[in-house]
C-alpha cells in the first residue's frame, strides 16, 4: 500500500539520520570558543610549562574523552536525537544539546550542575570506525599517563613502543577521514614529522609533554634514546604513495614491528 511504503521510508530515513549523526559525532573535536566556560573549557600552561588545550573525542563504542590534550576525563555517552547524555568516570554528569553538527563544526549547549555553557568545536576530519583502534581510547592512550614509580628499562621500552602505536592509529584517523593535513598541537611526543621523513627532537629541545609521560626527566631521555635507536634503522618508504600520511603510517608500522 502507498501509505505503508511511505511509513517504511520514514523509518529508513530516521535510521539514516541517527546513524549519520553518530558517525559525524565520532571524531576528534577541538574547542575554539566557549560562552560561560568552566575550568575544563580553558586552555592553559601549568607550572612545568606544559600546555593544555580543550576538546573532546566521541568514540564509536559510545565512550568519550574530554580534553585529549589537556586534563583527561573519560566517560560514556548516549546520543538521543539532538541530545547527548554524558556520564563521566569521575561521577560528573552533563547534557549536551546539539545545535550544529557538520563535518567541520560542532556547537553544543552543555548543562552540568545547572551551569550552562555554549561550546563551539572545530572538526579535525578524523574517523576511527573501530574503537579499539582509536588512539584516544583508555588502552591506547595509557602510555601518556605518568607512572607513580620509576620504571624498568623493559617498561620504558614498552611505553615508547605504545607511543608509536598511538601515532599509527592517530595518522590512520586522518587518512580515514580524508583530511588534507594533520595537527599535533598539544600531543605528547618527541618526533618531528616531514613529508618523506621522520626525525627526533634533541634532548635540550625535548617536548615537555613527552617528559611528563615518564617518571623523571632521566627516564624520558632514556625513552627518547630508545626511539632514536629505532628510527635510525633502515626502513622502506613507499615512493609511489602520493599521500604522505599513508606513507608515514607504513613506516611507523615498520618501526613498531622492529622495536
Answer whether 121's CB lies under 8 Å from 29's CB. Answer: yes
Strands (DSSP E) contained in 82-215 are 83-88, 93-101, 105-112, 115-123, 191-194, 197-200
Answer whether 237's CB lies under 8 Å from 253's CB. Answer: no
| pLDDT at position 52 | 85
Mean pLDDT to the nearest integer, 139-150: 97
| pLDDT at position 47 | 79
| pLDDT at position 233 | 87
| pLDDT at position 19 | 54
Give yes or no: residues 248 and 149 share one domain: yes
Sign, Cα dihedral of 67, 62, 147, 174: negative
Domain boundary (78, 102, 123) is at 123
Give yes or no: residues 94 and 152 share one domain: no
Mean pLDDT to the nearest integer, 137-159: 98
Give yes or no: residues 7 and 119 share one domain: yes
Contacts of residue 2, defined as CB under 8 A and 6 or more positions apart, other chains included, come to none
Task: Give the CA distances from residue 19 to residues 16, 75, 80, in Å, rounded to whole numbers and listed in that order.
Answer: 5, 21, 11
Q: Is pLDDT larger for residue 220 or for residue 196?
A: 220
Give yes or no: residues 93 and 178 share one domain: no
| Calpha distance 96→82 (Å, rounded) | 8
Answer whether 73's CB lies under 8 Å from 39's CB. Answer: no
Domain boundary (123, 139, 167) is at 123
Give yes or no: residues 171 and 217 share one domain: yes
Give the CA radius of gyration of the chain: 20
Answer whether 29's CB lies under 8 Å from 122's CB. Answer: yes
Mean pLDDT to the nearest integer, 91-99: 97
| Calpha distance 64→28 (Å, rounded) | 10
Q: What is the mean pLDDT of the chain?
A: 91
Give yes or no: residues 109 and 174 share one domain: no
Give yes or no: residues 148 and 251 share one domain: yes
Domain boundary (94, 123, 152) is at 123
Task: Give the CA distances from residue 51 to residues 13, 38, 140, in Å, rounded to whole numbers and listed in that order.
Answer: 44, 17, 21
Neighbours of 107 (CB within 10 A): 16
Give yes or no: residues 63 and 172 share one domain: no
> Can you read off the three cell numbers belonging to residue 113?
550542575
Residue 138 has pLDDT above 50, yes or no: yes
CATH code of the domain covering residue 49: 2.40.128.20
Give yes or no: residues 138 and 116 share one domain: no
Give yes or no: residues 38 and 116 share one domain: yes
Q: Which long-range contacts (CB under 8 A, 24 or more apart) does 139-148 make?
A: 140/165, 140/166, 140/169, 141/65, 141/68, 141/72, 141/166, 143/213, 144/188, 144/209, 144/213, 145/213, 146/212, 146/213, 146/214, 146/215, 147/214, 147/215, 148/215
Q: Please tell me the total count of domains within the chain.
A: 2
pLDDT per position as a tens digit, 160-214: 999 999 999 999 999 999 988 899 999 999 999 998 889 999 999 999 999 999 9
Give yes or no: residues 242 and 164 share one domain: yes
- Residue range of the domain that includes 248: 131-258
| Calpha distance 68→53 (Å, rounded) | 8
pLDDT per position as a tens digit, 98-132: 999 999 999 999 999 999 999 999 999 999 999 99
Give yes or no: residues 143 and 79 share one domain: no
pTM for the model: 0.90
| pLDDT at position 17 | 40
pLDDT per position as a tens digit, 5-60: 333 323 333 333 455 899 999 999 999 999 999 988 998 888 777 788 999 999 99
| pLDDT at position 49 | 76
End-to-end alpha carbon distance in the chain: 64
State which H helix or E strand residue 168 sits in. Answer: helix 153-176
Amino acid at each position: 500500500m502507498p501509505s505503508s511504503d511511505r511509513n517504511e521510508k520514514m523509518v529508513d530515513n530516521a535510521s539514516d539520520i541517527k546513524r549519520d549523526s553518530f558517525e559525524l559525532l565520532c571524531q576528534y573535536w577541538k574547542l575554539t570558543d566557549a560562552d560561560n566556560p568552566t575550568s575544563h573549557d580553558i586552555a592553559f600552561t601549568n607550572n612545568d610549562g606544559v600546555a593544555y588545550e580543550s576538546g573532546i573525542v566521541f568514540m564509536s563504542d559510545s565512550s568519550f574523552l574530554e580534553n585529549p590534550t589537556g586534563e583527561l576525563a573519560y566517560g560514556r555517552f548516549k546520543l538521543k536525537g539532538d541530545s547527548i547524555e554524558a556520564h563521566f568516570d569521575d561521577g560528573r554528569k552533563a547534557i549536551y544539546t546539539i545545535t550544529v553538527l557538520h563535518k567541520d563544526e560542532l556547537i553544543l549547549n552543555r548543562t552540568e550542575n545547572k551551569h550552562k555553557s555554549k561550546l563551539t568545536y572545530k572538526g579535525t576530519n578524523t574517523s576511527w570506525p573501530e574503537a579499539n583502534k582509536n588512539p584516544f581510547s583508555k588502552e591506547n592512550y595509557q602510555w601518556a599517563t605518568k607512572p607513580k614509580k620509576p620504571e624498568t628499562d623493559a617498561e620504558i621500552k614498552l611505553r615508547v613502543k605504545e607511543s608509536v602505536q598511538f601515532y599509527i592509529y592517530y595518522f590512520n584517523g586522518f587518512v580515514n577521514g580524508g583530511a588534507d593535513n594533520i595537527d599535533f598541537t598539544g600531543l605528547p611526543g618527541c618526533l618531528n614529522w616531514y613529508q618523506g621523513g621522520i626525525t627526533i627532537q634533541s634532548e635540550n629541545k625535548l617536548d615537555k609533554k613527552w617528559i611528563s609521560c615518564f617518571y623523571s626527566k632521566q627516564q624520558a631521555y632514556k625513552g627518547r634514546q630508545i626511539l632514536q635507536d629505532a628510527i635510525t634503522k633502515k626502513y622502506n618508504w613507499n615512493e609511489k604513495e602520493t599521500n604522505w600520511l599513508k606513507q608515514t603510517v607504513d613506516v611507523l608500522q615498520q618501526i613498531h614491528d622492529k622495536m
